[in-house]
Amino acid sequence: MKIAHVVGARPNFMKVAPILEVIERHNRRPGQEVIQSLLVHTGQHYDYAMSQSFFEELGLPKPDINLEVGSGSHAVQTAKIMTAFEEVVQREQPDLVLVVGDVNSTMACAITAKKLHTAVAHVEAGLRSGDMTMPEEVNRKVTDAIADYCFTTDRIADANLGVEGVPNDRIFFVGNVMIDTLLTHLERARRSTILETLGLRDGDQPRSYAVVTLHRPSNVDDPRALREICEALKTAARRLPVIFPCHPRTRERLDAFELTGMITDGSITMTAPLGYLDFLQLNAHAAMILTDSGGIQEEATILGVPCLTLRENTERPITVTQGTNRLVGNRREIILAGIEWARRQAGQRISRPEKWDGKAAERIVEVLAGLARSGALRSGGLRQAVRQSVG
Ligand code: UD1
């Protein structure tokens, strides 16, 4: 069986890494049906810090194919990915296309594969924020509507898929591959010297500091929202160091709205996007994390670090009910109240959501190996005919 694994943007790399590794282990076991992996990078993220550094640190193989689509409006980026990926599917004839997460590359490749009658598996299916103004929510819903195999991180996601009419036999509750990667690399991350580099140690002990990440259009494309967040961060930075690894689009917007000066006057440490291990070490020792990212809410839950999500909603409600997460939106006063709440959370007990145990990729590969054994995906005479007629 041949699987095309799609990665495009930063949050995809740590989700695909454990799956590829478990497939390699599976292939080395005698008597197993070999699963061939083809790694396709769409090139949605292309800077060293947003892409290649993750391949190096996570031990990901070099992509077999890089579509080099780069940045663009949603329609342009999606169209470029679809056009280039269609050729890949026609040429490589994978039995299954595996997509992860909710970025434009996820949706674009799922649609392309499906229209060529190629089976699609979606890892991290069923997450819903209920907010259709988020590009990721559109990507999630479209992808799940057409995926043949929906791998979910929790029971809430299963229920969401059920409500949308996805039959039970397409849903597989496997746990969280992003947490597989976190647990694999936590020990190695301790060797990172990022705390020393940023002056965040007092002797042997980490100082109390906050980590901030921001990139959602709803926060960074709206000058009023971005200003309010910057004001809250500046106020917070009077009491504890604030470290802000800055996403390229956020850096552009801060400059465009003339806000960079406000937060780089010494109170906040802005850095380039960090590598996986440095960022993990930084988060693991933080007093709190302020973020609008999806995955970081989950990582904070497992690390037991209070997390303030700078959004009105989350597609990962389990991080609120069971984890350390609180939604604070983007208004200055509410963020500051959240920071006071986070200060009081130090030392809270960590409760780990079901199956966030480092074995999600194993469960996924078990399902895939079952498909390989059964030959279920190779019976598609129609698929072959469609590919030939389109090609
Ligand atoms: C994308 C995902 C988002 C994910 C985020 C993680 C979509 C719709 N959004 O958002 O879900 O959480 O990645 O980072 O897919 N840029 C660079 N260098 C790069 C990549 C991007 O400078 O390597 C800049 C460009 O100015 C670009 C902008 O970032 O125009 C937006 O990049 P894009 O990939 O379209 O979306 P993100 O905001 O990164």
User: Which residues lie below 8 Å from residue 215, measured CB to CB, with a gap of 6+?
Assistant: 247, 249, 250, 292, 293
User: Which residues lie below 8 Å from residue 374, measured CB to CB, with a gap of 6+?
Assistant: none
Mean model confidence pLDDT for the chain: 94
Q: Which atom of ligand 1 is found nearest the CA of 104?
A: 15
Ligand 1 centroid to 131 CA: how many Å? Answer: 19
What residues does ligand 1 touch, defined as CB less than 6 Å away? 9-11, 44-47, 50, 71, 77, 102-104, 135-136, 215, 247-249, 252, 293
Closest Cα to atom 14 of ligand 1: 10
At residue 323, the pLDDT reads 84
User: Among 68, 103, 141, 221, which residue has the most ligand 1 atoms within 8 Å of its CB, making it the best to mutate?
Assistant: 103
Query: Which segments of the chain does DSSP mark as H helices, in order?
Result: 10-28, 52-58, 74-92, 104-115, 135-146, 155-163, 177-189, 194-197, 217-220, 223-236, 248-256, 260-263, 276-284, 295-303, 318-321, 332-343, 360-374, 381-390
Rounded distance, CA 233 to CA 212, Å?
9
Ligand 1 centroid to 248 CA: how many Å? Answer: 8
- Tell me the per-residue pLDDT of 36-95, one tens digit each, with 9 for 90 and over: 999 999 999 999 999 999 999 999 999 999 999 999 999 999 999 999 999 999 999 999
- Tell me the per-residue pLDDT of 80-105, one tens digit each, with 9 for 90 and over: 999 999 999 999 999 999 999 999 99
CATH 3.40.50.2000 fits 194-344, yes or no: yes
Rounded distance, CA 352 to CA 329, Å?
25
Q: What CATH number should be reported for the domain whose range is 2-175+359-388?
A: 3.40.50.2000
Instruction: Report the 10 Å Cβ neighbour count for 380.
Output: 15
> pTM for the complete prediction?
0.95
What would the DSSP string read from start to end of 5-37?
Answer: EEE-SHHHHHHHHHHHHHHHHHHHSTTPPP-EE
Written as six digits, the tokens of 388 are: 């030939």
Amino acid at site 157: A
Which residue, among 126, 122, 134, 112, has the nearest Cα to 165 in the 3D structure? 126
Reply yes or no on whether the pLDDT at 21 is more than 80: yes
* Residue 26 is a catalytic residue: no
- Tell me the per-residue pLDDT of 175-213, one tens digit each, with 9 for 90 and over: 999 999 999 999 999 999 999 999 999 888 888 999 999
Say if residues 120 and 110 touch (Cβ distance below 8 Å): yes
Rounded distance, CA 323 to CA 307, Å?
9
Residue range 136-153: mean pLDDT, rounded: 98
H or E stretch at 4: strand 2-7
At 173, is the pLDDT very low, low, confident or very high (cuts 50, 70, 90)?
Answer: very high
At residue 386, the pLDDT reads 44
- Tell me the per-residue pLDDT of 249-274, one tens digit each, with 9 for 90 and over: 999 999 999 999 999 887 799 999 99
At 378, is the pLDDT very low, low, confident or very high (cuts 50, 70, 90)?
Answer: low
| CATH 3.40.50.2000 intervals, the chain | 2-175+359-388, 194-344
Written as six digits, the tokens of 34 are: 């070999």
